[in-house]
Structure 1
Amino acid sequence: MSKKRILFVRPSLGYGGADRVTVNLLNHFDSDKYEVELALMHSNGEMQSMLDRPIKIHDLKVGWLGFAVNPLMKLIRSNNYDVLYSTCGGMSIPMMIAAKRTNFRGLKVVSERNSLHRTYSSIVKKKSLLSFKKRYYKQADLVTVVSREIGSEVQEVLGVNESQIRVVNNPLIGDSFFSEMQEEASFPSIETGTFNILAIGRFVKQKDYGTMLKAFNALYTNNKNVRLNILGKGPLQKDIEDLVDILGITNVVSFLGFDSNPFKYLRIADAFILSSLHEGMPGVLVQAMAAGLPVISTDCPTGPNEIIDNNKNGILIPVSDISAAHLALESLLHNPEKSMEMGKKAALSIERYSINNGVDSYFKILD
């Protein structure tokens, strides 16, 4: 039996959660059944070097989604692909336009990875994106979503038929995750008795670091042994660093930058916090839980409340609620036995995000 030829489509393999998921898909698919290639808007992302298979990469050399249509059309016309597979909501649009203009007859799979009710940079951008998605997602054969709630949004907001929607589980936890956790790591503050809190994420509005920092500041007021360590980078880093300075906590908040292996810090942290305004299915939260950490997350749309059973395997707090975040951190700090038990339960609750189960969920829908 001949292999199915799949073209995966993304903007890049940068430093985001969906980039890591795509790397895991490409590193672990069944090469006896599938032949896979990858098209990128620009081929210069931080995670591209993490590919450990000889995947053929097509660099479209474009800087805007709309400019990706023509090079994608050329690719589709010159290759006999069976499947076009986007792992990015935005990139799904030029892929579908290219498929339509080339009369592509194979399977078309688009992706929605974040809440459709999220905050957009402008009303014009929101209306434009949703308009394109309403038009083209209905023409796709399948729409993959990373949470049940996003699936509901795709039906209600975009008018996609339920029969087209497939919930997939991101492949996040495997042998490499646990081996990378064992690599040498240290936080700037390693004094005995220090309670190290970890946050991981891009410096963008979505992550709402302002709420996190103000909650941490309230915690630090009466608990001088706490430290906040942040892994990531992004366009708002200077604003976030300025807020840390304004709050007067520069000596207890550490910016660790981007690290291709953030997992080693999960091993040495005491707690993990996610303060997002919206998500899809936050991979860093799944990974923190897999590491056995007690976790705090906003009950944002979408994802966290599908993996956290509140006060059992983690703590859910309202979005942008400084007081709730402060009290949750205080609870973990002053109840070490409860925190340890919560972490144990967290580690046992995310089996569906193993590499094998996750990869299978993305590929079995093609058969």
Structure 2
Amino acid sequence: MKSLLFVINSLEGGGAERALSRLLVALSGDAWAADKEIHLVLLDDYEVEQVIPASVKVTTLSAQGSLLKSVTGLASVIRAIKPDAVVSYLTRANLAASVVCKLMRIPVIISERVNTTHHLTGRFAFIQKLMVRLLYPLPNRVVAVSGGVKEDLVQNFSVNERKCSVVYNGYDQSELNELSQESVASISDRPFAIAIGRLVPNKNVTMLLRAWRLAQPQCDLLILGEGPDRDMLQQEVDAYNEISDYKIRLVGFCKNPYPYIAMAQFYVSASNAEGFPNSLVEAMTLGLPVISTDCPSGPREILAPGLAKPVTSAVQAEWGLL
């Protein structure tokens, strides 16, 4: 029996994680996969917040963010399973899979879910970008989640354009509609807007809070997501709530955010960088007006597909406000 192995950092709450979960669910019910073993390697031992079909064989490592442990752990699993092909999601998993599969001569497809140039920041950014530049040309195929992500990989990281394909995320409208009908506890008894994403610097929630304070919209703001910036952001939220009749709430991670999206007045994103923002498309699918920064990459491709250049002021685009 042939086998296919997927690898990702973890299945916490995030867009890439949700996209892989949906792919695994789709494969579990597809005739193509009926005679194949599907394996999943989670590099980090964190809480699983996404659906994993019972038919998928899961191996959880304890790399906890270490690239070296990711490489050695993945090599051990691949040596034992001997998969016919490997598919990886997210940068660290992509780097590990590129090295291991090249050495073991196993076909590998890596899937880049972020704008790499803008995603890799901080004190080790130079080293991380150098590793991407050295290792991303190795896989048999590179899948970019948006045209902007592909352009970045080709122009800045030596990826062969002929080996790089754009595959947008898929969405099941019937499933989203069904999930949005689930009963949930009321969070706000007033009109509210919604923002969704991990509480990390790239999501730029700080700018969203400051813009909200300046604009003073006549509605509450619910922010769904968790992350290391929560305590710092909570201080800004508390300061705002002391002076405003309308409130901002950090709700935390929500496994099913769709009822809240469906009840919201509009969706807002202030990200510094994206790949192809899932929650923005899901909000549009559920009929919400959307507002987003024109960050690299994704929002402009979604909201203004005919617009080639970055916007320098607010633009009412074809599908939303940039």
| Structure 2 SS opposite 1:57 | strand
Residue 14 of structure 1 is matched in structure 2 by 12
Indicate if the aligned counterparts of 1:144 and 1:167 stay in contact, CA closer than 8 A: yes
**For residues 253 and 185 of structure 1, what CA distance do their matches in structure 2 show?**
19
Correspondence 1:188-199 to 2 at 5 A: 188-191=187-190, 194=191, 196-199=192-195
| Residue type of the alignment partner of 1:62 | A
**For residues 59 and 121 of structure 2, what CA distance do their matches in structure 1 show?**
29
| Structure 1 SS opposite 2:38 | strand
Residue 5 of structure 1 is matched in structure 2 by 3
Residue 86 of structure 2 is matched in structure 1 by 84
Deviation at 1:168, TM superposition (A): 1.2
Deviation at 1:175, TM superposition (A): 3.1
Deviations 1:262-320 (A, max 9, x none): 1111110010001000100000101011011000011100001111038xxxxx976xx
**Match among 292, 300, 316 for residue 297 of structure 1:** 292
1:42 aligns with 2:35: no
Indicate if the aligned counterparts of 1:297 and 1:317 stay in contact, CA closer than 8 A: no
| Residue type of the alignment partner of 1:96 | S
Residue 349 of structure 1 is matched in structure 2 by none
1:108 aligns with 2:101: no
Correspondence 1:297-336 to 2 at 5 A: 297-309=292-304
Residue 171 of structure 1 is matched in structure 2 by 170
**For residues 26 and 100 of structure 2, what CA distance do their matches in structure 1 show?**
28
Q: Which runs of 5+ in 1 are unaligned?
A: 311-315, 332-341, 347-367
Residue 75 of structure 2 is matched in structure 1 by 73
**For residues 220 and 212 of structure 2, what CA distance do their matches in structure 1 show?**
9
**For residues 188 and 78 of structure 2, what CA distance do their matches in structure 1 show?**
53
1:200 aligns with 2:196: yes
Residue 245 of structure 1 is matched in structure 2 by 238
**For residues 26 and 112 of structure 2, what CA distance do their matches in structure 1 show?**
22
Q: Which runs of 5+ in 2 are unaligned?
A: none
Correspondence 1:178-193 to 2 at 5 A: 178-185=177-184, 187-191=186-190
Q: In 2 relative to 1, CA 7–146 (structure 1 residues): closer, same or farther, beyond 3 Å?
A: same
Residue 358 of structure 1 is matched in structure 2 by none
Q: In 2 relative to 1, CA 188–75 (structure 1 residues): closer, same or farther, beyond 3 Å?
A: closer
Give the alignment's TM-score, normalised by structure 2. 0.88
Sequence identity (%): 29
| Structure 1 SS opposite 2:39 | strand
Residue 262 of structure 1 is matched in structure 2 by 257
**For residues 317 and 162 of structure 1, what CA distance do their matches in structure 2 show?**
26
Residue 233 of structure 1 is matched in structure 2 by 226
| Residue type of the alignment partner of 2:5 | L
**For residues 45 and 245 of structure 2, what CA distance do their matches in structure 1 show?**
36
What is the RMSD of the two structures over their aligned residues, measured on CA atoms?
2.6
Indicate if the aligned counterparts of 1:244 and 1:250 stay in contact, CA closer than 8 A: no
1:94 aligns with 2:96: yes
Give the alignment's TM-score, normalised by structure 1. 0.78
Moved more, 22-31 or 271-280: 22-31
Moved more, 180-189 or 141-150: 180-189
Q: In 2 relative to 1, CA 131–162 (structure 1 residues): closer, same or farther, beyond 3 Å?
A: same
| Residue type of the alignment partner of 2:282 | Q
Q: In 2 relative to 1, CA 307–251 (structure 1 residues): closer, same or farther, beyond 3 Å?
A: closer
Deviations 1:127-179 (A, max 9, x none): 11111111111111001110111111111111111111011121333433221
Indicate if the aligned counterparts of 2:120 and 2:128 stay in contact, CA closer than 8 A: no
Compare the two structures and name the one with the higher helix fraction.
1
